[in-house]
Amino acid sequence: MSNSEQQAREQILNLVADYYNRFLKKDNDSFTKGDRIPYSGRVFDEKEVINLVDSSLDFWLTAGRYTDEFEKRFAELLNVRFASLVNSGSSANLIAFMALTAPELGDRQIKRGDEVITVACGFPTTVAPIMQYGAVPVFVDVTVPQYNIDVTMLEEALSSRTKAVMIAHTLGNPFDLKAVREFCDKHGLWLVEDNCDALGSEYTIDGKTAFTGTWGDIGTSSFYPPHHITMGEGGCVYTDNALLHKLVRSYRDWGRDCICPPGKDNFCGHRFDGKFGKLPVGYDHKYVYSHLGYNLKATDMQAAVGCAQLDKLIGFADARRKNWKLLHEKLECLSDVLILPEPAENSNPSWFGFIMGVKEGAKDGNGNELTRNAITKALEDNNIQTRLLFSGNVTKHPCFDEFVCKKNVEDAGDYRVIGDLSVTDYVMNNAFWIGVYPGLNDDKIEFMANVIKKACGRAV
């Protein structure tokens, strides 16, 4: 880059910083009753905007230097060997699962009809790749107040066709990684951690503390605006396994066999001298496909935003913990009518939200039945955004109308259910959550708690 170009760029970026401070900067410390309190949202400063404009001046519209920087720094932060940026957390789950269907994995390859243990209480794109491929999800129940997989049901869910466990850490609260990891090791199963709602959460096993998403064979993250860091749309797949990393990159990049970076040819030096499948000798390696893949790369402009957000991740996680703790303290007085969340044993969650369940038979201050809808209506009427626990029970949704539940492993069908999913149904009917993201302050937390108390008929 010439001196004149560098000077022009610096001038532009200085103006961008000024624009942010004049027009985009928000005062998160102020709060007036009636202000909208979202459950989550983007938190940024001039650095994200500067990076975004800087990358746009390169006009390198696909993956580039910021992508390389993000993947390197993200892997270093999580202490994993490999990270691959994709265009969403849902794409990350798709790629993570599809990597396990590759024939290079031999006996451990997931084939159509093989089973994957998971939960019905969660976000559907944890399950969607399994069913879209033709494998069979085996749904087990969850526990409350952790809202994660009931590990006592794992052995019952196991069959001769089980190949993997693929589950999410719910709202930042880690599932029982020790039990799940031991179960997978005992039976030779893959473990995929959907870490999209838990980036920054920590878990300790036998004295070793590590980030969630790194205990399994593959971890996934989402960078959608409500998540722990954001680049607008975006996600990541990460692993310590070199073969899985190679497969992830192949499925992400059209299924190609070539490893040339975007815009570079003959990176390996053997572009025209290989023999692949039934292709003629010397067929252009850039157009050899070892898998039926996708194009799920992110753009460099997204990665540029992500690079600035990475510097804030630890602070964001601390703020989420602080807000969660304050909410818990203020709502403990409602423990007779609400089931408040509890962190998993041996964990330090980076909370995505504060989830509550209305106890069955609970009454409000007037002796009337207390319902979830009454509380969420009161919150929304006061401009406080609420959410349910995603699908609640995904098998009850219209998308499952075309699918058949198998009673036994040998039966024809699309999925299996262990037990009656009664706790999952409780969550579907009674649970809701509100935000703890870093854009909240003590006044907003206080106001949210007071609205919930009033909805439960308690004085504030």
Q: Residue 444 forms beta bridges with which residues?
A: none
Task: Give which of 198, 243, 196, 211 is closest to 89, Cα–Cα.
Answer: 196
Q: Check if the beta carbon of residue 433 is closer than 8 Å to that of residue 387.
A: yes
**Tokens representing residue 306 in the block:** 């992500």
How is the chain split among helix, strand and coil, in percent rounded to 5? 40, 15, 45
Pairing of strands 235-239, 82-86: antiparallel
State whether residue 106 is helix, strand or coil: helix
So which residues are the catalytic ones?
A: 227
Cα–Cα nearest to 99, from 209, 290, 246: 246
Pairing assessment for the beta strands 190-194 and 218-222 based on DSSP bridges: parallel
Quote the tokens at residue 141. 């129940």
Q: How far apart are CA 234 and CA 224, in angstroms?
A: 6
Q: Is the peptide bond before 341 cis (omega within 30 degrees of 0)?
A: no
Q: Copy the structure tokens of residue 174.
A: 């880690």
